[in-house]
């Protein structure tokens, strides 16, 4: 399953980084792009067959039956929910520490997002709080592999089984990690990936993919992301409609509501090149995380609380996230960030604000007026009418202290600058 990743991890740093083009565009990326450009563009079909090749390569690397390309890792989750039949009157449980997309897609379906608090150590969705938040209206859970670490799937899947819930993995930040020997992405009913610029692999800024083993679900997901075209199938080969049929005035095309979330052929060319070197891309992030960890250990720094990786899980380190113990360090989060930047650090992101406290959720600013929010839909008889401070106390307490160190550097020189900046900052803070 992860033989190729282990081989990449066994390389020397110089050998590993030699596999990565410094600006993330290599000869293979250019070759596939040129294949698309040389084949040109026609009305509907993909002359270079690039979508088919990308989907086949992605499904193969993750060991799933089907992969459906999308234009983002947000559209992916919207189509997964729609294809699972989620709509007005339903609740979907999501974590509060995530990109807003994980919750927004629920509202886009006319359903109500319910936030389950996080685990104080891993920062992932806490299965015990998920259990507490299940109601007769709950239809789905979207667990997020936050920062590249899988959540505790066994209890989540057990809850899903008991209550008949659909599980959609949000793996925007998690490529090739494993949970108890299983590839993350193959545990829930479907899994969503993002190729947005900051992610392990990119398709030129934006892009996404859904994987699943369920053929009918895959077919529905593709239809929901392609205007509900009736004749689309799970695999590109299933989509052919004889010319005399599709050109006829009686040909009915659309049998369900769908959106246009298709990826362009140009994006697909880049994604295909990147999936081919995904193992090296992930191995580089794991190596960089190890460098930060080594500095923190060597400096005996006990006020940067390093990521916890539970036994049985592996981490793919979209970023390396530490909790700053400001009392022990004697420095505020903002002063720590300023010092890191002064010492050559390339910015330092906080965690996102808890999603339930973002103004869009707090003010129910979904449609024209707050009362038009799905939370007030007469079909919805649940208790969650609004979102406020105190809904997820663990997340609210931890979020202001998280520091995301970048792991996206593609050259060893740049890695060294960041790691040196961290070492210098730790020494400075310690000597105050
Ligand atoms: C956890 C998580 N979910 C969803 C998304 C949305 O992906 P995209 O930007 O491709 O729509 C992102 C990243 O942007 C993310 O980090």
| Active site annotation includes 3 | no
For residue 360, give the 3-state DSSP assignment: helix
Query: Rounded to an integer, what distance in angstroms lies between the CA atom of residue 16 and that of residue 222?
Result: 36
Question: What is the CATH classification number for the domain harbouring 110?
Answer: 3.40.640.10
Query: Rounded to an integer, what distance in angstroms lies between the CA atom of residue 347 and that of residue 313?
Result: 29
Query: Rounded to an integer, what distance in angstroms lies between the CA atom of residue 408 and that of residue 80?
Result: 28
Q: Would the pLDDT of 239 be above 80?
A: no
Query: Considering the domain boundaries, does residue 52 fall inside one?
Result: yes
What residue spans of 10-112 are helical by DSSP H?
A: 13-18, 27-39, 50-62, 75-83, 101-108
Q: Could you tell me if the CB of 203 is within 6 A of ligand 1? A: no
Q: Taking the C-alpha atoms of 278, 283, 286 and 292 in order, what is their torsion angle to the nearest 10 degrees? A: -120
Residue 117: closest CA among 312, 300, 354: 354
Query: Considering the domain boundaries, does residue 273 fall inside one?
Result: yes
Query: Considering the domain boundaries, does residue 406 fall inside one?
Result: no
The pLDDT, as a whole number, for residue 245 is 87
Instruction: Give residue 291 CA to ligand 1 midpoint distance, Å.
Output: 26
In the block, residue with structure tokens 């999603």: 355
By DSSP bridging, strand 91-94 and strand 112-115 are parallel
The pLDDT, as a whole number, for residue 432 is 82
Query: Rounded to an integer, what distance in angstroms lies between the CA atom of residue 187 and that of residue 190?
Result: 8
Q: What is the mean pLDDT of residues 232-238?
A: 81
Q: At what angle do helices 412-430 and 333-342 cross, to 10 degrees?
A: 130
Q: Could you tell me if the CB of 104 is within 6 A of ligand 1? A: no
Query: Considering the domain boundaries, does residue 175 fall inside one?
Result: yes
The pLDDT, as a whole number, for residue 385 is 82
The pLDDT, as a whole number, for residue 42 is 82
Q: What is the mean pLDDT of residues 39-68?
A: 92
The pLDDT, as a whole number, for residue 212 is 98
Q: Could you tell me if the CB of 74 is within 6 A of ligand 1? A: yes
Query: Considering the domain boundaries, does residue 203 fall inside one?
Result: yes
Q: What is the mean pLDDT of residues 274-291?
A: 98
Distance (Å) of CA 240 to CA 37, 237, 259: 23, 7, 20
The pLDDT, as a whole number, for residue 46 is 81
Query: Rounded to an integer, what distance in angstroms lies between the CA atom of residue 118 and that of residue 175?
Result: 21
By DSSP bridging, strand 319-324 and strand 402-406 are antiparallel
Question: In the structure, what pLDDT confidence band is assigned to residue 384 with cuts at 50, 70 and 90?
Answer: confident
Q: Would the pLDDT of 237 be above 80?
A: no
Query: Considering the domain boundaries, does residue 405 fall inside one?
Result: no
Query: Rounded to an integer, what distance in angstroms lies between the CA atom of residue 170 and that of residue 206?
Result: 16
Instruction: Give residue 207 CA to ligand 1 midpoint distance, Å.
Output: 10
Query: Rounded to an integer, what distance in angstroms lies between the CA atom of residue 60 and that of residue 346?
Result: 35
Query: Rounded to an integer, what distance in angstroms lies between the CA atom of residue 16 and that of residue 280?
Result: 7
The pLDDT, as a whole number, for residue 368 is 93
Q: Which of 28-42, 189-203, 234-248 has the lowest mean pLDDT?
A: 234-248
Which of ligand 1's atoms lies nearest the C-alpha of 74?
A: 11
Sequence-separated contacts (24+) of 339-342 with Cβ below 8 Å: 339/425, 339/428, 339/429, 340/421, 340/422, 340/425
Q: Would the pLDDT of 397 be above 90?
A: yes
Q: Could you tell me if the CB of 73 is within 6 A of ligand 1? A: yes
The pLDDT, as a whole number, for residue 152 is 98
Which of ligand 1's atoms lies nearest the C-alpha of 170?
A: 3
Higher pLDDT, residue 417 or 244: 417
By DSSP bridging, strand 112-115 and strand 304-305 are unpaired
The pLDDT, as a whole number, for residue 1 is 87
Q: Would the pLDDT of 238 be above 80?
A: no
The pLDDT, as a whole number, for residue 381 is 84
Q: Could you tell me if the CB of 149 is within 6 A of ligand 1? A: no
**pLDDT > 90 fraction of the chain, expressed in percent and rounded:** 93
Query: Rounded to an integer, what distance in angstroms lies between the CA atom of residue 150 and that of residue 126?
Result: 12
Q: Could you tell me if the CB of 170 is within 6 A of ligand 1? A: yes
Query: Considering the domain boundaries, does residue 44 fall inside one?
Result: yes
Q: What is the mean pLDDT of residues 112-116?
A: 98
Which of ligand 1's atoms lies nearest the C-alpha of 318?
A: 16
Instruction: Give residue 298 CA to ligand 1 midpoint distance, Å.
Output: 34
Residue 36: closest CA among 46, 26, 45: 46
Range of the domain at 258: 22-277
Q: What is the mean pLDDT of residues 79-102?
A: 98
> Tokens in use for 87?
């709509």
The pLDDT, as a whole number, for residue 19 is 98
Q: Could you tell me if the CB of 101 is within 6 A of ligand 1? A: yes
Higher pLDDT, residue 290 or 380: 290
Q: What is the mean pLDDT of residues 212-240?
A: 91
Q: How many domains does the chain have?
A: 1
Average pLDDT, the chain: 96
Q: Would the pLDDT of 240 be above 80?
A: no
Query: Considering the domain boundaries, does residue 150 fall inside one?
Result: yes
Instruction: Give residue 432 CA to ligand 1 midpoint distance, Å.
Output: 39
Query: Rounded to an integer, what distance in angstroms lies between the CA atom of residue 342 and that of residue 403?
Result: 16
For residue 384, give the 3-state DSSP assignment: coil
6 Cβ contact partners less than 8 Å away, ≥ 6 residues apart = none
Q: What is the mean pLDDT of residues 346-375?
A: 96
Q: Which of 128-132, 350-354, 355-359, 378-382 has the lowest mean pLDDT?
A: 378-382
Task: Estimate to the nearest angstrom the gap between the alpha carbon of 184 and the chain centroid.
Answer: 12
R_g of the chain computed on alpha carbons: 22
Which of ligand 1's atoms lies nearest the C-alpha of 173?
A: 16
18 Cβ contact partners less than 8 Å away, ≥ 6 residues apart = none
Question: In the structure, what pLDDT confidence band is assigned to residue 246 with cuts at 50, 70 and 90?
Answer: confident
In the chain, what is the straight-line distance between the N-terminal and C-terminal CA atoms, in Å? 48
Question: In the structure, what pLDDT confidence band is assigned to residue 186 with cuts at 50, 70 and 90?
Answer: very high
By DSSP bridging, strand 182-183 and strand 178-179 are antiparallel
Q: Would the pLDDT of 241 be above 90?
A: no
Instruction: Give residue 350 CA to ligand 1 midpoint distance, Å.
Output: 16
The pLDDT, as a whole number, for residue 383 is 83
Q: Could you tell me if the CB of 267 is within 6 A of ligand 1? A: no
Q: What is the mean pLDDT of residues 237-261?
A: 89
* Residue in 4, 180, 199, 406 annotated catalytic: 199
> Tokens in use for 294?
């080594």
């Amino acid at each position: 399953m992860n033989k190729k990743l282990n081989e990449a991890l066994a390389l020397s740093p110089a050998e590993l980084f030699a596999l990565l083009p410094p600006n993330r565009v290599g000869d293979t990326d250019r070759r596939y792009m040129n294949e698309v450009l040389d084949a040109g563009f026609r009305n509907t079909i993909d002359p270079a067959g690039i979508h088919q090749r990308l989907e086949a390569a992605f499904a193969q690397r993750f060991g799933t039956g089907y992969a459906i390309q999308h234009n983002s890792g947000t559209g992916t989750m919207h189509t997964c929910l729609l294809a699972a039949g989620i709509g007005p009157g339903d609740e979907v449980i999501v974590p509060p520490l995530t990109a807003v997309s994980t919750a927004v897609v629920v509202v886009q379906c006319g359903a109500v997002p319910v936030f389950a608090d996080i685990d104080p150590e891993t920062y992932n969705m806490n299965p015990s709080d998920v259990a507490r938040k299940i109601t007769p209206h709950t239809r789905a859970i979207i667990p997020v592999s936050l920062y590249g670490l899988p959540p505790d799937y066994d209890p989540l899947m057990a809850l899903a089984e008991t209550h008949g819930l659909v599980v959609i993995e949000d793996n925007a930040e998690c490529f090739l990690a494993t949970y108890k020997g299983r590839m993350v992405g193959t545990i829930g009913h479907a899994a969503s990936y993002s190729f947005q610029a900051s992610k392990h692999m990119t398709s030129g800024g934006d892009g996404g993919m859904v994987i699943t083993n369920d053929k009918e679900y895959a077919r529905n997901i593709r239809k929901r992301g392609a205007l509900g075209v009736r004749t689309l199938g799970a695999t590109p080969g299933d989509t052919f409609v004889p010319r005399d049929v599709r050109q006829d005035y009686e040909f009915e095309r659309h049998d369900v509501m769908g959106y246009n979330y298709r990826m362009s052929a140009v994006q697909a060319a880049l994604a295909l090149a990147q999936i081919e070197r995904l193992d090296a891309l992930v191995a580089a992030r794991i190596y960089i995380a190890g460098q930060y960890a080594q500095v923190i250990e060597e400096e005996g720094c006990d006020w940067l609380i390093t990521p916890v990786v539970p036994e049985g899980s592996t981490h793919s380190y979209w970023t390396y996230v530490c909790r700053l113990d400001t009392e022990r360090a004697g420095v505020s989060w903002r002063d720590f960030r300023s010092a890191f930047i002064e010492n050559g650090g390339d910015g330092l992101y906080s965690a996102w604000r808890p999603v339930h406290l973002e103004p869009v959720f707090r003010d129910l600013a979904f449609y024209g007026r707050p009362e038009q929010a799905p939370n007030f839909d007469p079909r919805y008889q649940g208790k969650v009418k609004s979102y406020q401070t105190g809904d997820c106390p663990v997340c609210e307490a931890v979020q202001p202290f998280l520091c995301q160190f970048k792991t996206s550097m593609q050259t060893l020189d740049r890695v060294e600058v960041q790691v040196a900046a961290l070492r210098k900052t730790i020494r400075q803070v310690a000597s105050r």
